[in-house]
């Protein structure tokens, strides 16, 4: 039980700003790598919180887009924009670098460029528009948004499986290629919330997120030869966007 709690603490500590020091902690890189199975659980918790805020906004009769923006703001406060930062850096690196070395340098630069701004605007706009179109009350919205966020974090696991690290240093390099047991457990946790929704939409969302993962993996391999933490963050945002669009479709 202690190891499971330490896995959950490692996942929440990495992917959110929530304090986890009161939980058992891993003391080595092996433990942090094993904790990837909990990423979709963290995603579901973040998304469900955002969905609950969205439902509360609807209950208060806020305009749908305003309620969706409030929900996005709430989730960004939880995560500190961790994945969005990765998306912006990935867009800048892939769009602005001449070769692999330069692309990786750009992705490490804390400054944001035009490609990063455009990627963030599009990602936030897609999510806000899709969330504003979602049906249901607080519990239903929490489930839908939680399922979308879990699929997004599941995309991180897919990228880790499909790609080697592009650098020998950095956060993502320590994760390496995941062992099969935590990878499979994590993918199950990524899929289960979606299949609590109507089967047709759930299956369509899973297929499209899977195809998006394959497409991003191919792009990252061609651009920089593998994954970085920024690419993993971009994958989480892309997967969540795709799932929300499917769930919002009538």
pLDDT for 131: 97
Q: Cα torsion at 146, 23, 14, 28 (round to 10°)?
A: -140
User: Coil, strand or helix: which one is 65?
Assistant: helix
Separation of alpha carbons 153 and 250, rounded Å = 25
Separation of alpha carbons 103 and 205, rounded Å = 31
pLDDT for 173: 61
The mean pLDDT values, 10 residues at a time, for the chain of 250 residues are 79 88 70 84 96 96 96 96 95 89 90 94 97 94 97 95 84 70 90 92 95 97 93 96 93
pLDDT for 233: 95
Q: Is there a contact between 12 and 114 (Cβ–Cβ < 8 Å)?
A: no
pLDDT for 60: 95
pLDDT for 98: 84
Interacting residues of 24 by C-beta distance below 8 A, sequence separation 6+: 2, 3, 5, 6, 9
Of all helices (H) and strands (E), which one includes residue 63? Answer: none
CA 113 to centroid of chain Cα atoms: 22
**Residue where the block lists tokens 């879990």:** 150
Q: Is there a contact between 31 and 10 (Cβ–Cβ < 8 Å)?
A: yes
Separation of alpha carbons 39 and 27, rounded Å = 19
Alpha helices in 80-198 (DSSP H): 82-96, 100-108, 114-132, 138-162, 180-191
Separation of alpha carbons 23 and 216, rounded Å = 34
């Amino acid at each position: 039980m202690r190891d499971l709690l330490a896995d959950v603490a490692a996942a929440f500590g990495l992917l959110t700003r929530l304090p986890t020091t009161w939980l058992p902690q891993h003391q080595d890189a092996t433990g942090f790598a094993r904790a990837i199975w909990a990423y979709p659980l963290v995603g579901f918790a973040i998304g469900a919180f955002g969905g609950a805020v969205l439902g509360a906004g609807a209950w208060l009769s806020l305009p749908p887009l305003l309620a969706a923006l409030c929900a996005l703001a709430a989730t960004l406060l939880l995560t500190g924009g961790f994945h969005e930062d990765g998306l912006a850096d990935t867009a800048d690196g892939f769009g602005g670098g001449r070769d692999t070395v330069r692309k990786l340098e750009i992705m490490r630069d804390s400054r944001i460029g035009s490609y990063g701004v455009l990627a963030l605007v599009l990602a936030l706009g897609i999510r806000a528009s899709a969330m504003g179109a979602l049906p249901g009350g607080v519990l239903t919205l929490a489930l839908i948004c939680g399922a979308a966020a879990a699929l997004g974090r599941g995309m991180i696991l897919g990228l880790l499986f499909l790609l080697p690290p592009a650098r020998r240093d950095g956060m993502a390099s320590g994760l390496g290629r995941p062992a099969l047991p935590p990878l499979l457990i994590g993918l199950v946790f990524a899929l289960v919330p979606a299949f609590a929704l109507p089967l047709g939409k759930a299956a369509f969302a899973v297929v499209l997120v899977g195809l998006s993962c394959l497409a991003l993996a191919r792009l990252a391999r061609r651009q920089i030869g593998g994954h970085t933490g920024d690419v993993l963050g971009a994958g989480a945002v892309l997967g969540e966007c795709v799932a929300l669009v499917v769930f919002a479709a009538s």
